[in-house]
């Protein structure tokens, strides 16, 4: 009987010790977000994954071709190309291309890349998908927009390239807006249209009859100015020839 009592006491002691160890383990487990100043574990893991994805990116080069000037009513094309340069040192110089403007900063590739164009005083119609993959070193992907303008002046285009994390909407890198200036010039057809619109507005305001009357008055005034002025004494009669003595 005494032996059984001792065994029971030992078993109870072991249970108490086990509960104590379990509670101690729970107390020392990583903070799940309830502690002061510590982000949730899921957020910390998410940040680690983002940093790893960012470190795995390749360098990239963006270049573009854009018209310096554009006539009203005419069209032109804006072309952007991004090339995966691989993992070159940051100090490696970017190549030059005739007819292209090379963006001097790194545009990270090896992921999904989006290029957007925002235009002011200019119509920009996209001719390619905004988001495209630029994954392999040496690979080049292009974007293009059809440009048109209806009024003369100075138009502006802003390009922004965004590198996304895998196939999500999470941005790993985004360039500063790349500004492009286009001078829009007026054609003779543009001015003819403007004059025609002004004439339509005037006719609608005063009426066609009033314009005809005004035109007739101006015409009569011009004819009077063109007639030679009469000299002094022009109304006197011609003197008779002197009679012979």
State how far the alpha carbon of 4 is from the alpha carbons of 12, 15, 16, 97, 161, in Å: 12, 17, 19, 93, 78
Region 207-230: mean pLDDT is 68
CATH 2.60.40.10 domain locations along the chain: 55-186
Q: What is the pLDDT of residue 226?
A: 66
Residue 203 reports pLDDT greater than 90: no
Higher confidence at residue 78 or residue 23?
A: 78
Higher pLDDT, 3 or 87: 87
Q: Evaluate if residue 28 carries a pLDDT over 70.
A: no
DSSP state of 92: P
Task: Tell me how far apart the alpha carbons of residues 171 and 50 are, in angstroms, rounded to a whole number.
Answer: 10
Output b/e per residue, 29-44; b: 16+ Cβ within 10 A.
eeeeeeeeeeeeeeee
55-186 is classed CATH 3.40.640.10:
no
Confidence bin at 233 (pLDDT 50/70/90): low
- Over range 170-198, report the average pLDDT: 85
Give the torsion sign (CA, 217, 219, 222, 228): negative
């Amino acid at each position: 009987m005494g032996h059984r009592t001792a065994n029971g006491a030992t078993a109870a002691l072991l249970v108490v010790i086990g509960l104590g160890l379990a509670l101690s383990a729970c107390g020392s487990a990583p903070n799940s977000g309830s502690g002061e100043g510590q982000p949730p574990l899921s957020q910390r893991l998410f940040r680690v994954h983002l940093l790893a994805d960012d470190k795995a990116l390749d360098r990239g080069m963006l270049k573009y071709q854009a018209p310096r000037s554009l006539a009203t009513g005419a069209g032109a094309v804006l072309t952007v190309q991004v090339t995966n340069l691989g993992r070159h040192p940051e100090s490696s110089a970017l190549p030059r291309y005739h007819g292209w403007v090379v963006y001097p900063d790194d545009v990270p590739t090896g992921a999904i890349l989006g290029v957007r164009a925002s235009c002011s005083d200019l119509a920009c119609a996209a001719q390619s998908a905004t988001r495209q993959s630029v994954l392999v070193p040496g690979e080049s992907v292009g974007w293009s927009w059809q440009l048109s303008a209806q009024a003369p002046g100075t138009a502006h285009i802003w390009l922004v390239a965004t590198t996304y994390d895998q196939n999500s909407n999470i941005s790993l890198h985004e360039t500063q807006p790349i500004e492009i200036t286009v001078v829009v010039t007026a054609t003779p057809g543009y001015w003819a249209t403007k004059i025609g619109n002004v004439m339509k507005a005037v006719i609608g305001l005063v009426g066609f009859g009033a314009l005809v009357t005004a035109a007739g008055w101006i015409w009569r005034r011009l004819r009077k100015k063109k007639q030679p002025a009469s000299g002094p004494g022009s109304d006197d009669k011609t003197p008779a020839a002197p009679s012979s003595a």
